[in-house]
A and B are shown apart, each in its own frame.
Chain A
Amino acid sequence: VSTVWYCILGALFAAYFVLGGLDQGVAMLLPALGGDGERRAALNAIGPMFLGNEVWVVGAAGVLIAAFPRLEGELFGAAYPAVVAAVLGLLALNAAVQLRSRGGRRGGFDALIAGSGLTLATAWGLLFGVLLHGAPISAGGHVHGFAPFADPMVWLTAVANVLLVLVHGAAYLLWKRRDERMRRLVARLAPVAAGVAALTLGGWLLTAPGGIRNPVAGTVLALVIVAALVVAARVKGNGRVFAATAVACALPVVATASALFPSVLASTLDPGATVTVDAAAAGAATLRLLTLGAAPLLPVLVAVQAACWWLFRRPTSLYW
Chain B
Amino acid sequence: MSALEFARMQFGLTASLHFTFVMVTLGLVVLVAVMQTRYVVTGQDVYGRMARFWGQLYAINYAVGIATGLVMEFEIGLNWSGLSRLTGDVFGAPLALETLVAFVLESTLLGMWIFGWGRLGKRLHLGLIWGTAATALLSAFWVMVSNAFLQHPVGYAVDADGTARLTDFSALLTNNALWFALAHTVAATMVAGGVLIAGISAWRLRKEQESDLFRRSLRLGIRVGLIGTFFTIGFGYAQFGAISDNQPMKMAGTGPGAIERQAEMVQRFGPGQYMVGDAVGTSFALMSNIANLLFLLLLVAQVLTFRDTLIRRRWARPMSWLLTALIPVPLGTGVLGWMVREEGRQPWAVYGLLRTADAVSPMSAGALRWSTFGFSALVIGLALVDWWLLARAAARKPGSELGGEFGQEDGEIRATRQEVAV
Contact = CB atoms under 8 A, between A and B. Distances in A.
B100 A63 contact: yes
B81 A77 contact: yes
B96 A285 contact: no
Contact of A37 (B85, B362, B419): B419
Interface in B348-390: 361-362, 371, 378, 382, 385, 389
Contact of B404 (A69, A95, A99, A317): A317
Contact of A290 (B93, B115, B382): B93
A93 B97 CA distance: 25
B92 A282 contact: yes
Contacts of B59: 98
A283 B109 CA distance: 33
Contacts of A47: 111, 114-115
B92 A40 contact: no
B108 A305 contact: yes
Interface in A126-154: 141-142
A286 B165 CA distance: 8
A88 B382 CA distance: 12
Interface stretch (B72-80, B271-279, B286-294): B72-80
B103 A63 contact: no
Nearest to A142: B362
Given A51-B108, A54-B107, A319-B403, A69 B89 contact: yes
Q: Is the interface of A mostly helix, strand, loop or mixed?
A: helix
Contact of B96 (A80, A294, A300, A319): A294
A65 B84 contact: yes
23 contacts: A47-B111, A52-B107, A58-B69, A58-B70, A58-B73, A58-B99, A62-B98, A63-B96, A65-B77, A65-B92, A66-B96, A70-B88, A77-B361, A80-B78, A91-B71, A286-B89, A293-B101, A304-B105, A311-B116, A312-B112, A317-B403, A319-B115, A319-B402
B395 interface: no
Given A66-B88, A311-B112, A286 B166 contact: yes
A312 B115 CA distance: 9
Nearest to B362: A142
Interface of A: 37, 40-41, 47-52, 54-56, 58-59, 61-63, 65-67, 69-70, 72-73, 76-77, 80, 83-84, 87-88, 90-91, 94-95, 98-99, 101-103, 141-142, 282-283, 285-286, 289-290, 293-294, 297-298, 300-301, 304-305, 308, 311-312, 315-320
Interface string B155-192: 00001000101110100000000000000000000000
Contacts of B109: 304
Nearest to B371: A84
B416 interface: yes
Contacts of A66: 88, 92-93, 95-97
B166 A101 contact: no
A98 to B, nearest CB: 4
A77 B77 CA distance: 9
B81 A73 contact: yes
B117 to A, nearest CB: 8
Contacts of A101: 402
A290 B97 CA distance: 7
Contacts of B165: 283, 285-286
A72 B82 CA distance: 12
A54 B70 CA distance: 11
B405 interface: yes
B108 A55 contact: yes
B67 interface: yes
Nearest to A56: B104
B77 A289 contact: no
Nearest to B111: A51
A247 B35 CA distance: 43
Contact of B103 (A58, A305, A312): A58
Contact of A318 (B60, B88, B98, B416): B416
Nearest to A307: B112
A98 B166 contact: no
A142 B96 CA distance: 25
A83 B74 contact: yes
Given A40-B419, A311-B120, 7 more contacts: A65-B88, A66-B96, A69-B85, A76-B81, A102-B402, A286-B90, A308-B112
Contact of A52 (B71, B81, B108, B422): B108
